[in-house]
Structure 1
Amino acid sequence: MTNEPYDLRKVLKELKEMPGQYHETNLEIDPHAELSGVYRYIGAGGTIKRPTQEGPTMMFNTIKGFPETRILTGIMASRKRVGKILGHDYRTLGHLLKDAVNHPVKPVKISRDEAPAQEVVHLSTDPDFDIRKLVAAPTNTEYDAGPYITMGLVYGSSPDKSISDVTIHRMVLEDEDTIGIYIMPGGRHIGHFQEEYEKLNEPMPITINIGLDPAISIGATFEPPTTPLGYNELWAAGSLRNEPVQLVDSITVDEVGIARSEFILEGEILPHERIREDINTNTGHAMPEFPGYNGDANPALHVIKVKAVTHRKDRPIMQTTLGPSEEHVSMAGIPTEASILNLVDKAIPGKVLNVYNPPAGGGKLMTIMQIHKEGSADEGIQRQAALLAFSAFKELKTVILVDEDVDIFDMNDVMWTVNTRFQANQDIMVLEGMRNHPLDPSETPEYSPGRIRFKGMSSKLVLDGTVPFDLKSQFERAAFKDVENWQKYLED
């Protein structure tokens, strides 16, 4: 197994050897709302409506309506499990990803005969072709706009093929060969390429790659400025594994797919065409998003026409995630930590020891920064670090600053800091009129009349819980004796 290239199946073999990290069931499950409803209790975590918990990744082997497909969810719904998957301390995964970006390993192309993802081919010209019967895309709730691909990695390139990139989007199956894709305005490279194609009035060839090594899924969620236009996030994924991601030429479009995927959908984003997201359900909802609320159905999604579906022949695995789950925190939060560390290490090296984007912010809206002050000259550097964090990631809304004796992964410790090393009249910074994530429902003119001009604008918050350097001696934690071999007292 050690000589096999990494893919989802290799990772699952490894997880099965780790107690408590993997569970599968042969009981039949309905992909319409039931599967997500079940996993909510077992291991979703994040900002899912309570009750929920951290639990194993879950493989559902018997899917109603899809006898040949399995569905996997939650493989990254635990930061500690992500650490195990990547062979790294979960507390410093941000540092690991930062280093991966700075030491890229570029993909390689293999032949179609070598690509497991193309073992079975379904063409749109087949008389019975229907993506809704070929792709076991679940709905998260009974009110979703339709079945969603939530873990599909879109691969696309500029019209001249000089640069390429990958991005995860929410995509809803609309009819037998049509997918609606939400491309968030501003900055993501797939959106930039699509705009170039639209100016040329040409369709943009893409592949949608499903069922991937988590190193690829996490590596693919970087954003500018960490990975500027021209940087393909698959380079970072290759670095995480110290082996190149394998690509393969598509069968029906002029683009490549990830060769060791479970599924590849080949298609084109049509120019100047849009579709209402909930055209089939009229619920007004899209699907649950990372802030924990149902996203509003978008009136004008971009349109993908699917030309082919290819997959592995041995019970391919449909990979899915619950929008507000801990899995989103891993995919969005850890690369954001890396982006922040990358910027602060260049601007104020040695002053930010670690960064954590907790589930409370869905991985995007909140970060906790651990600050190191060496002398009085460093006083104030912590607030500059917060401003750098906002620069590194525009969707960040709240920064909490703590000292190096605080465990940033323990929210009790973080809130203890806010309660004992913080005064609201002097340790709060509020930055108004800034751009943030459009899925935060509080960012509307109606919510804050006169303060928010357009949807997606926000106030940013800094809570400075660091002790002034000249007062450090007054804030030393109670010292307990260090005891070696304390574990022996737990033995029988």
Structure 2
Amino acid sequence: MRDFIAMMREQGRVEDIERSCSTIYEAPRMASRTDKILFFHDLDGHRAVMNLLGDRKSLAAALGVGERDLVRNLAARTYNGRAADAGRLAGGIPADLSRLPVMKHFPGDAGRYFTAGVVFSRYGGVENASIHRMMVLDDHRVVARLVEGRHTHTLLKAALARGERLPVAVTVGTHPLVTFAACTRVPEGKELPYAAELMGGELAVHECANGVRVPGAEIVLEGSIGPETAAEGPFVDITGTYDPVRQQPVIEFSRMYLRENPIYHGILPAGDEHKLLMGAPYEPKIYRAVGEVTTVRDVLLTKGGAGYLHGVVQIRKNTDGDAKNAIMAAFAAHTSLKHVVVVDEDIDIHDPYDVEYAIATRVRGDTDIMIITGVRGSSLDPMRLADGTNVKVGVDATMLMGREGEFRRAEWP
């Protein structure tokens, strides 16, 4: 992470905050007003960063590719990097969360939350890594939102069924590509190989005392999850609205490992970094799925759609009906997607005005809008019904085949 920050500083993308700032509201509010990386040198006496991946340009820079080549590059990945054994994690001290600048982001939050902690787990020979928000309960316990059916929750159920605890290790302050890999739905156990692939092919990992493997990080918290639960929330999620209170599993930490003068990483809930890490990992998945039914050019989950619920897919139509097939493929690839617009190659999907232009000039409401009712969508959408179902809408904003000349836009010589 330090190398990435240094690279971004050379590009003028880091703003150093030397004055003292508070972990309660102040730092999160500052992060909401810029897309630059904010480096706090005195966040209640600690060092911290926010907006580490505040925009697509930062993610592209981390990968060493052009911003417009981002989705195509990610879609070609094969999760085949090497997680290289770097030995046991040495040292460590008894866990004490009060030594970390964990933030309270909004007045309605239930407490202080880890928002960039990557939870690594290992059980039955299977490894997993994913980000879970974690509310601090005391100096060695947090309550984590583990979405039912996701891999951490599945491993926990398997451990509890055998009367055992699930060993975990939480890293804070990893390289942003490791964090991105942990946010991506990959084949079982492939998070570390995927992170290694993104990092150039190899990634050093250390084994904790509980057998869980972790990459290099500013902070490592070692512990386990058992049957204990506690109330988690309210907490602001991706839409900027409050997620409800739920009974969730408690993680108990026994040891912590800190780099010298560690740099804490915090993600602003519903901020640009949150939206990018939630949505961008699905773009290559949609790209590959649409590529199975027509010629796909690019995919974007829009910032206005909370980076998660709205998508734009750019295709080259080969036959009539390709756009509608692309709509169905996009919904199948990203089941939380609520609205998707399919456009032609001449439309800039990164320009919302151009996308709106396509809708204005290439859509007939009676033939080009697909409405799918009674389908499961995102649990984060405030419009979901009590049974979890919602309505999805697909918009075919492509030109009529055989009449493309009528849609040609004037250009300067």
- Could you state the TM-score of these two structures normalised by the residue count of structure 1? 0.81
Runs of 5+ unmatched residues, structure 2: none
Structure 1 CA distance for aligned equivalents of residues 352 and 363 of structure 2: 15
Structure-to-structure mapping, 1:459-474, within 5 angstroms: 459-474=391-406
Structure-to-structure mapping, 1:249-328, within 5 angstroms: 249-251=207-209, 253-258=210-215, 260-271=216-227, 273-278=228-233, 285-286=234-235, 288-298=236-246, 300-313=247-260, 315-328=261-274
Percent identical = 25
Q: Deviations over 1:31-89 (max 9, x none)?
A: 01111012222x1xxxxxxxxxxx3110111022xx3x311000111111221222111
- 2:31 corresponds to which of 9, 28, 39: 39
1:89 and 2:66 matched: yes
SS in 1 for 2:119: strand
Partner of 2:293: 348
Partner of 1:147: 112
Structure 2 CA distance for aligned equivalents of residues 135 and 457 of structure 1: 40
SS in 2 for 1:245: strand
In the alignment of these two chains, the number of paired residues is 413
Q: Which amino acid aligns with 2:32?
A: R
- 1:404 corresponds to which of 326, 345, 348: 345
Check conservation: 1:157, 1:190, Cα contact below 8 A: no
Check conservation: 2:113, 2:136, Cα contact below 8 A: yes
SS in 1 for 2:256: strand
Partner of 2:315: 371
Partner of 1:123: 94
1:11 and 2:25 matched: no
Check conservation: 1:78, 1:330, Cα contact below 8 A: yes
1:109 and 2:64 matched: no
Check conservation: 2:121, 2:128, Cα contact below 8 A: yes
How far 1:174 sits from its partner (Å)?
Answer: 0.7
Structure 1 CA distance for aligned equivalents of residues 193 and 334 of structure 2: 20
Structure 2 CA distance for aligned equivalents of residues 61 and 337 of structure 1: 35
Structure-to-structure mapping, 1:64-213, within 5 angstroms: 64=44, 67=45, 69-100=46-77, 102-112=78-88, 121-124=92-95, 130-131=96-97, 133-158=98-123, 160-161=124-125, 163-186=126-149, 188-213=150-175
Q: Which amino acid aligns with 1:413?
A: D
Structure 1 CA distance for aligned equivalents of residues 367 and 14 of structure 2: 47
SS in 1 for 2:16: strand
Structure 2 CA distance for aligned equivalents of residues 304 and 474 of structure 1: 61
Check conservation: 1:177, 1:306, Cα contact below 8 A: yes
Check conservation: 2:79, 2:190, Cα contact below 8 A: no
Structure 1 CA distance for aligned equivalents of residues 17 and 409 of structure 2: 47
**Structure 2 CA distance for partners of 1:85 and 1:254, relative to 1, 3 Å:** closer
Which structure 1 residue ranges, 4+ long, deviate > 4 Å from structure 2? none
1:433 and 2:374 matched: yes
How far 1:329 sits from its partner (Å)?
Answer: 2.4
SS in 2 for 1:28: coil
Structure with a larger share of its residues in strand: 2
Structure 2 CA distance for aligned equivalents of residues 399 and 144 of structure 1: 31
How far 1:423 sits from its partner (Å)?
Answer: 1.8
Q: Which amino acid aligns with 2:2?
A: R
Check conservation: 1:352, 1:372, Cα contact below 8 A: yes
Structure 2 CA distance for aligned equivalents of residues 434 and 245 of structure 1: 40
- 2:278 corresponds to which of 332, 356, 360: 332
Q: Which amino acid aligns with 2:239?
A: P
SS in 1 for 2:325: helix
SS in 1 for 2:232: coil
Structure 1 CA distance for aligned equivalents of residues 204 and 15 of structure 2: 28
Check conservation: 2:122, 2:211, Cα contact below 8 A: no
How far 1:296 sits from its partner (Å)?
Answer: 2.0
Structure 2 CA distance for aligned equivalents of residues 220 and 363 of structure 1: 17
Q: Deviations over 1:292-341 (max 9, x none)?
A: 2122222x01111111111101x101101111111122212221011111
Structure 2 CA distance for aligned equivalents of residues 363 and 246 of structure 1: 31
Partner of 1:239: 197
- Could you state the TM-score of these two structures normalised by the residue count of structure 2? 0.96
